[in-house]
Amino acid sequence: MKIYLDCIPCFIRQSLDAARHATDDVTIHEKVVRGVLDLANNLDMSQSPPVIGQKIHRLIRELVGVEDPYHGVKQRFNNAALKLYSQMRHLIIESENPLETAVRLAIAGNIIDFGVKSQLQEEELKETINKCFSDVFSGSQIEDFGNAVNEAENILYLADNAGEIVFDRLLIEQLPIEKITVAVKGSPVINDATMQDAEITGLPKIVEVISNGSDAPGTILESCNQSFRNRFDKADLVIAKGQGNYETLSDVNKNIFFILKAKCPVISRNIGCEVGKMILQKTKAFRGEIKNARI
Amino acid sequence: MKIYLDCIPCFIRQSLDAARHATDDVTIHEKVVRGVLDLANNLDMSQSPPVIGQKIHRLIRELVGVEDPYHGVKQRFNNAALKLYSQMRHLIIESENPLETAVRLAIAGNIIDFGVKSQLQEEELKETINKCFSDVFSGSQIEDFGNAVNEAENILYLADNAGEIVFDRLLIEQLPIEKITVAVKGSPVINDATMQDAEITGLPKIVEVISNGSDAPGTILESCNQSFRNRFDKADLVIAKGQGNYETLSDVNKNIFFILKAKCPVISRNIGCEVGKMILQKTKAFRGEIKNARI
């Protein structure tokens, strides 16, 4: 998905949020905003939004002089989600359709996104979890997803954010784990999950977890290391969590299922849904809308 | 009030809204956004927001090649407000405190602001009118305002937007009209009222209406013509409608009453109120918080 003009004011708001998150120094806030204005003015609009996101957050880390401004937020939401883990696992196991329940919860967990939201309280996370069971969501999509998972031999699961990765673990536990490799970001960007977050949630104990080697808030293949790209190429099914992965991979010729909550108007318009909707959607290639897609 | 960093993403969103309002040509939308990014990057943050607002809307009119992109919107809301005029006048006359009712309605009319909102329907205007009677609003402020009006000899009323100017007429009818001069913008900017709008509402029939000679979405004194500035200097009381006038005049050493609906978080923070609040407030000078103020 390419950058829309509507993304530009949002980039600037996001960068100001992120700068305020990282430091109270208003001179740095202004430097960040001016730097992002400059980046935005030289923008190639054919790129995906995370390409500029990567540049913005590199600039913020450089200007603030902090390697991981969201470290505290990531810890907070890992802990909040881990506290809910047993209860959510119980809900999944006891439910009529455990796969559907796990997918719904995985989408609810995608609310923990500090790219879109500058503030999030644990209370809102709990409300989103409660709401995810009643939101409209097509059962046939779940069946389709279950079939794709069963038919695949090699599944790559692209995690999104810290905290959310606990919800991913719950979904992964409902999948054939022997086929699955989970990928996290190579180094900190916003509150995206890195290897440290995967370890906190205990994921490496049940499944192989690899780093994608990149600091982009999505999956920009050219920005990932060769080892990740080999795994991506080898996978016959990719499960991609969150908006950043949708933005970077929606036009890729690959069998991908996107799992996300559509939180911004631009993505919602691109998907063709209302803001706030729970999304489980295949790539165009997977739907047979791109010629020579690997299906 | 100076520009806050939070104003910058809002300027860009506003300019994109305005460009879309003026033309469907997406290449022009992009040119406008890039031009505004450039303006924002060279911004003097000690200025008030309407200083850049003036530059942005000049740029839009130049790039789009249309002198008054909001002409249709202004006509629409002049007509909508004129349709409600008799009914609102009746409400004022029949009310226990006609001055308070007229002030409340004048604030409700300030919702017709296409700088802050990119869309407004007549329905929302009617809802705002209905709500304005029950919103919390201190009676002592009205008394203070009434006293100031009675004591003044020369009152300058700075109008804000088209449509809203019908609500201003209703308030002016409750004031000693022989003391009042109304000022409108010198030429089109956003949906701000010009002489044409004043004429449509019949204001010049009951009171003197002058042009301030400026195309700024507020009252930047240096941008106004000498004749307006003389009237401004001569006035012993100024009544200033809307956010743009608050932004440009809140720190001026002058007896000013601001009448507005606080519609954006930055102005609300500056005033010290919640977004959406109805505001009737004196300048610092008028409150005796600036030395040598003319009180």
Compute the distance between CA of residue B295 and CA of residue B286 in angstroms, rounded to an integer: 6
Could you read off the pLDDT of A85-144 as tens digits, one per residue?
999 999 999 999 999 999 999 999 999 998 877 778 889 999 999 999 988 877 678 999
B11 Cβ contact list (under 8 Å, min separation 6): B36, B39, B40, B49, B52, B53, B56
Using DSSP, state whether B236 is helix, strand or coil.
coil
The dihedral through the CA atoms of B207, B213, B219, B220 has a sign that is negative
What does the DSSP assignment read for A236-290? SEEEEEHHHHHHHHTTSSS-EEEEEE--SHHHHHHHTS-TT-EEEEE-TTTTT-S
Is residue A62 within 8 A of residue A35, CB to CB? The reply is: no
**CA angle, B169 then B175 then B180, to 5°:** 75
Per-residue pLDDT, A290: 58
Chain A residue with minimum CA distance to B42: A34
Average pLDDT, stretch B29-53?
92
pLDDT greater than 70 at residue A294 = no
Compute the distance between CA of residue B260 and CA of residue B61 in angstroms, rounded to an integer: 27
Nearest to A8 among B26, B33, B38 (CB): B33
Average pLDDT, stretch A205-230?
97
Chain B residues near residue A37 by CB distance under 8 angstroms: 8, 37, 40-41
Where is A55: in which H helix or E strand?
Answer: helix A49-64
Which of the four pLDDT bands, split at 50, 70 and 90, describes residue B201?
Answer: very high
Average pLDDT, stretch B65-86?
94
Q: What is the largest CA-CA distance in chain B?
A: 55
Whether residues B16 and A5 touch (CB distance < 8 A) is answered with yes
Whether residues A13 and B9 touch (CB distance < 8 A) is answered with yes
What does the DSSP assignment read for B39-86? HHHT--TTS-HHHHHHHHHHHHHHHHT-S-TTHHHHHHHHHHHHHHHH
Whether residues A30 and B6 touch (CB distance < 8 A) is answered with no
Average pLDDT, stretch A57-74?
92
Complex ipTM over 0.90: no
HSE value, Cβ hemisphere, 13 Å, CA-based, for B69: 25
Per-residue pLDDT, B293: 41
Average pLDDT, stretch B234-256?
96
β-strand partners of B158? B183, B240
pLDDT greater than 80 at residue B289 = no
Per-residue pLDDT, B233: 97
β-strand partners of A210? A183
Per-residue pLDDT, A287: 82
Per-residue pLDDT, A22: 87
Per-residue pLDDT, A43: 86
Which of the four pLDDT bands, split at 50, 70 and 90, describes residue A246?
Answer: very high
Torsion region of A187: left, alpha or beta (phi above 0 gives left; psi -120 to 50 gives alpha): beta
How far lies A160's CA from each of A32, A137, A189, A244, B193, in Å?
25, 21, 11, 8, 49
**3-state secondary structure string across B140-167:** HHHHHHHHHHHHCCCEEEECCECCHHHH
Per-residue pLDDT, B21: 86
CA dihedral A247, A252, A255, A256 (to 10 degrees): -10
CATH topology of domain B71-282: Rossmann fold (3.40.50)
Average pLDDT, stretch B167-173?
98
Give the residue numbers in B contacting A (CB under 8 Å), as ranges: 5-6, 8-10, 12-13, 16, 26, 29-30, 33-34, 37-38, 40-41, 45
Per-residue pLDDT, A139: 66
The residue extents of the domains of chain B are: 7-64, 71-282
Tokens 């506290």 map to which residue?
Answer: A83
Using DSSP, state whether A185 is helix, strand or coil.
strand
Is residue A35 within 8 A of residue A63, CB to CB? The reply is: yes
DSSP secondary structure letter of residue A161: B
Chain B residues near residue A8 by CB distance under 8 angstroms: 12, 16, 33, 37
Is residue A153 within 8 A of residue A236, CB to CB? The reply is: yes
How far lies A234's CA from each of A227, A231, A242, in Å?
11, 5, 22
Per-residue pLDDT, B294: 41
Whether residues B13 and A16 touch (CB distance < 8 A) is answered with no
β-strand partners of B289? none
The dihedral through the CA atoms of A148, A152, A158, A163 has a sign that is positive
What does the DSSP assignment read for A79-103? HHHHHHHHHHHHHHHHSSSHHHHHH
Compute the distance between CA of residue B121 and CA of residue A28 in angstroms, rounded to an integer: 40
Counted across chains A and B, CB pairs separated by less than 8 A come out at 44
What percent of chain A stands above pLDDT 70? 97
Compute the distance between CA of residue B184 and CA of residue B213 in angstroms, rounded to an integer: 8
pLDDT greater than 50 at residue A172 = yes
| Residue of A2, A3, A5, A7 to mutate when probing chain B, most B C-beta within 10 A | A5
Is residue B290 within 8 A of residue B284, CB to CB? The reply is: yes
Which of the four pLDDT bands, split at 50, 70 and 90, describes residue B174?
Answer: very high
Chain A residues near residue B33 by CB distance under 8 angstroms: 5, 8
Per-residue pLDDT, A291: 54
Look up residue B227 and give its two tokens: 């004749």
DSSP secondary structure letter of residue A163: T
Which of the four pLDDT bands, split at 50, 70 and 90, describes residue B284?
Answer: confident
Count of C-beta atoms within a 10 Å radius of residue A113: 24
Could you read off the pLDDT of B180-193 as tens digits, one per residue?
999 999 999 999 99
Chain A residues near residue B37 by CB distance under 8 angstroms: 8, 37, 40-41
Per-residue pLDDT, A115: 80
Look up residue B246 and give its two tokens: 């608050």
Of B34, B23, B24, B31, the residue nearest B66 (C-alpha): B23
Q: What is the largest CA-CA distance in chain A?
A: 55
Could you read off the pLDDT of B79-133 as tens digits, one per residue?
999 999 999 999 999 999 999 999 999 999 999 998 877 778 889 999 999 999 9
Per-residue pLDDT, A35: 93
Whether residues A37 and B40 touch (CB distance < 8 A) is answered with yes
The dihedral through the CA atoms of A187, A188, A193, A195 has a sign that is positive
Compute the distance between CA of residue B271 and CA of residue B95 in angstroms, rounded to an integer: 29
Query: Torsions phi, psi of A212, nearest 5?
Result: -90, -5
pLDDT greater than 80 at residue B219 = yes
pLDDT greater than 50 at residue B140 = yes
Per-residue pLDDT, A82: 97
